[in-house]
Amino acid sequence: MIYKNIPLKKYNTFGLDCFAECMIRIKTEKEAISLFNGTVSWKKPLLILGSGSNLLFTSDFKGTVLYPEITRIKIEEQEPDNRNVIISAGAGVNWDDFVAWSVNKGLGGIENLSLIPGKVGATPVQNIGAYGVEVRDRIVKVRTINISDGSIRVFNNSECEFGYRDSIFKNREKGKYLVTRVYYRLTINPLLNLSYETLKEEVNKLGAETLINARQGVINIRQRKLPDPEIIGNAGSFFKNPVVESSFALSLKNEYPDIPIYKDHEGYMKLASGWLIERCGWKGQRRGDAGVHDKQALVLINYGKATGKEIYNLSEEIRKSVHEKFGVDLEREVETVGII
Ligand code: EPU
């Protein structure tokens, strides 16, 4: 079914008031195949939308928005060593519902990714991560449909070319595949990852170091720092944390002893964009209804009536001042859709 002139306000977590020329909702893989093998015609370009938690619409979308509603969580197989189990989830399953489901079943591995807004289908695209865990550590394979001909292609973990908030689906194969189902390896007697100090402290406040407390700890920290998109429009971290040469990171540390720096791959270190932005004086600032969150400077927010362009312009101002003060170029994590 093709719907016309659809308001996108409730389809993007920034709550931006814009429209899609067409929208198609699909509930099964079969429907998706008939869409791409030529059986059904639709207006290009195509935008695949999960819950719009990483998107900034800067204008109306002149094309077709595809909204996958493929659901169902399936227990696929228990691995022979009896330590892990493979679980698959449809692209349209709400991510946090899936995390809650796994924690309630006593299955570990994704509890640190609790409360991240979005759908299962977006998790491999963005390689979501938080509190020392990235979803690539758990993804076994990703089932997709090729948009150009409707054929099925399964990507194993290494074929996904995962990187920090990055994958083949954002790069070389951008816009070419629709994710329909993701397979995760979860652990039956999980070892918690409490390497992130704040999380360890939070879990200890709750009592024992259990799976349920790990999830609750993450929820508590996120709720303290990150605005709930149901209440105030935002898309989580707006920028990535920059990875820079270690020598440069160390020279910044010399100049600013309290700057947080983290080891990354050989010869490189990661900086905290939130810290850099706060140090440029942006925390809690507003430009009309576009603003910088007062508890976490990495999060840009829509106080109500901001347009995507206003948020974009604010992000450009921030990039400019961080560049001028620290010589660091911030890269947007959020994807911009539309005319700038
Ligand atoms: N910081 C500041 N001021 C701020 C924000 C942060 O000084 O306004 C400092 C903190 O004090 C800390 C450091 O920056 O020393 C890092 O902050 P935090 O632990 O809050 O994490 P982050 O780097 O801001 C990243 C992810 C988040 C993820 C958290 C926890 C990115 C772009 N963001 O944020 O992911 O939840 O770590 O693991 O990697 C997201 O991608 O949407 C997201 C929310």
CATH number for the domain that contains residue 61:
3.30.43.10
Q: Which of residues 39, 68, 97 is at a domain's end?
A: 68
* Whether the CB of 11 sits within 6 Å of ligand 1: no
Q: Is residue 165 part of a domain?
A: yes
Sheet holding 261-263: strands in order across? 243-245, 268-271, 261-263
Domain count within the chain: 3
Q: Which of residues 16, 47, 68 is at a domain's end?
A: 68
Q: Which residues contact 124 (CB under 8 A, 6 or more apart)?
A: 135, 136, 139, 142, 155, 160, 162, 167, 169, 179, 182
Do 319 and 333 sit in the same domain of this protein? yes
pLDDT score, position 40: 87
- Tell me the C-alpha distance between 163 and 134, whole Å: 9
Q: How confident is residue 81, by pLDDT bands cut at 50, 70 and 90?
A: confident
pLDDT at 53 over 90: yes
Q: How confident is residue 1, by pLDDT bands cut at 50, 70 and 90?
A: confident
Measured from the Cα of 272, ligand 1's closest atom is 14
Do 91 and 187 sit in the same domain of this protein? yes
What's the rounded mean pLDDT across residues 259-284? 97
Do 250 and 164 sit in the same domain of this protein? no
Q: Is residue 278 part of a domain?
A: yes
pLDDT at 95 over 90: yes
pLDDT at 237 over 90: yes
Gyration radius of the chain's alpha carbons: 20
> How much is the pTM?
0.97
Do 64 and 86 sit in the same domain of this protein? no
Q: How confident is residue 332, by pLDDT bands cut at 50, 70 and 90?
A: very high
Q: How confident is residue 48, by pLDDT bands cut at 50, 70 and 90?
A: very high
Q: Is residue 207 part of a domain?
A: no
Q: How confident is residue 136, by pLDDT bands cut at 50, 70 and 90?
A: very high
* Residue 108 to residues 134, 138, 213, 327, Cα–Cα distance (Å): 13, 10, 12, 40
Do 149 and 47 sit in the same domain of this protein? no
Measured from the Cα of 296, ligand 1's closest atom is 8
Do 183 and 85 sit in the same domain of this protein? yes
Q: How confident is residue 272, by pLDDT bands cut at 50, 70 and 90?
A: very high
Q: Is residue 214 part of a domain?
A: no
Do 89 and 36 sit in the same domain of this protein? no
One-letter identity of residue 103 = V
Mean pLDDT of the chain: 97
Q: Burial letters for 97-115: b for 16+ Cβ neighbours within 10 Å, e otherwise?
A: ebbbebbeeebbbbbbbbb
Q: Is residue 279 part of a domain?
A: yes
Q: Which CATH number belongs to the domain containing residue 173 in this structure?
A: 3.30.465.10
The protein residue with its alpha carbon nearest to ligand 1, atom 36, reads: 130
Q: What is the distance in A from the centroid of ligand 1 to the CA of 271?
A: 10
The protein residue with its alpha carbon nearest to ligand 1, atom 7, reads: 275
Q: How confident is residue 334, by pLDDT bands cut at 50, 70 and 90?
A: very high
Do 143 and 248 sit in the same domain of this protein? no
Q: Which domain does 45 fall in, by range?
A: 2-68
Do 101 and 116 sit in the same domain of this protein? yes
The protein residue with its alpha carbon nearest to ligand 1, atom 10, reads: 275
The protein residue with its alpha carbon nearest to ligand 1, atom 16, reads: 272
pLDDT score, position 35: 93
- Tell me the C-alpha distance between 259 and 250, whole Å: 10
* Whether the CB of 281 sits within 6 Å of ligand 1: no
What's the rounded mean pLDDT across residues 104-130? 98
* Whether the CB of 275 sits within 6 Å of ligand 1: yes
pLDDT at 27 over 90: yes
- Tell me the C-alpha distance between 227 and 340, whole Å: 26
Do 172 and 83 sit in the same domain of this protein? yes
Do 89 and 55 sit in the same domain of this protein? no
pLDDT score, position 172: 94
Q: Which of residues 10, 41, 68 is at a domain's end?
A: 68
What's the rounded mean pLDDT across residues 7-28? 97
Measured from the Cα of 226, ligand 1's closest atom is 44
